[in-house]
Amino acid sequence: MGKNDNDKLCIMIIPRTAKVRRLTIPTWLPKAIVIAIASIILIVALIINSIYSSYAELREMYTAKTTEIDELKKENEDKNTQINELKAQTDKLYEKSVEIDNKLAEIDKLQRQLEKMAGIQNSSRSEGIVKSLKLQPVNSLDGLQVLMDTLDYKEKELQNFIAEMEERLEYLETVPDLWPTTGRLTSKFGTRQDPFTRGTSYHEGIDIANSVGTNIVAAAKGKVTFAGYKSGYGRTIIINHGNGYTTLYGHLSKLLVSAGDRVEKGQVIGKMGSTGRSTGPHLHFEVHKDGKLLNPLNILK
Ligand SMILES: [Zn+2]
């Protein structure tokens, strides 16, 4: 080899059939090729590494997002469950409000009937305060507030009503409207022909005739103010009922109470007789109100 050939490499290619070929390359080429391949491998390795780390990061992010989405889904489900529960509660509340509303209407009706029966006219309650809630479904807090207010109002109203009823019943107990005995009405109240003088006279009560010993009862509750003999009336009982009412029971055969006794409405106080200025067994019954005579037939029920 010559000096010029020192930095050259000679490759002989010897095929089996054709003639031998000679290829001449510089000596640094294989080194350069090796370096180049090594560099490429390094670069590729770096790229792969970078891709892999990016992928790992991405994967982590994906996992995190998936977890987050799952949590959100679960939260959403919980919310839906809560909403459904709330809706069920609201429906129930509405049903209850309709029920309460119906009950209020029933109470109102009953109250009016009782007031009518007891003769209460100037009731303390205002008409039409209890409004129907039927057209106003209680599915909001406002609706619920209206219902609560109505119930509060109704409660107060019913308390007033009960107090008024008690007062009224107390009063009715003092009104002498119970027939004091049984029998035949033989003489009415007012001007009549006197059975003794045959002239006209004023009959201050009514006469009820029956057999001697028939029960005489108090026409209302009260306090006996007189139980004894009274000229003309014979054995007589007078009861003060309060509220200005007094009653008188005359011609009795027997007195079963004494002055000062408290009697209940319907309590037996004596027996029918014919004592005093009387033509036969009967009860002479008088009703006084504030010192004035009343026609008993206008009061007795
Ligand atoms: Zn009489």
- DSSP code string of 110-124: HHHHHHHHHT--S-S
So what's the pLDDT on residue 127?
Answer: 52
Residues 122-149: tens digit of each pLDDT: 555 545 445 554 445 556 667 677 777 7
pLDDT of residue 3: 47
Residue 261 CA, ligand 1 centroid: distance in Å: 25
pTM of the model: 0.57
Long-range contact list for 38-43, CB < 8 A, 24+ apart? none
| Of residues 46 and 137, more confidently modeled | 46
| Protein residues with C-beta less than 5 angstroms from the ion ligand 1 | 207, 284
- Ligand 1 geometric centre to CA of 247 (Å): 13
For 13, 94, 103, 139, 214, the CA distances from 98, given in Å and listed in that order, are: 108, 6, 9, 12, 57
> How many whole angstroms separate alpha carbon 126 and alpha carbon 107?
15
- The 8-class DSSP code of residue 4 comes to G
Q: What is the distance in A from the centroid of ligand 1 to the CA of 251?
A: 9
Percent of the chain beyond pLDDT 90?
41
* Nearest-5° Cα angle at 263, 257 to 265: 125
Q: Which pair of structure tokens corresponds to residue 150?
A: 């109505």
Main-chain dihedrals φ then ψ at residue 122, nearest 5 degrees = -95, 65
Spelled out in words, what is the top-level CATH class assigned to the domain 184-298? mainly beta
- Compute the distance from residue 187 Cα to the ligand 1 centre, in Å: 7
Taking only the tens place, the pLDDT of each residue in 146-174 is: 777 777 887 787 788 888 888 888 888 88
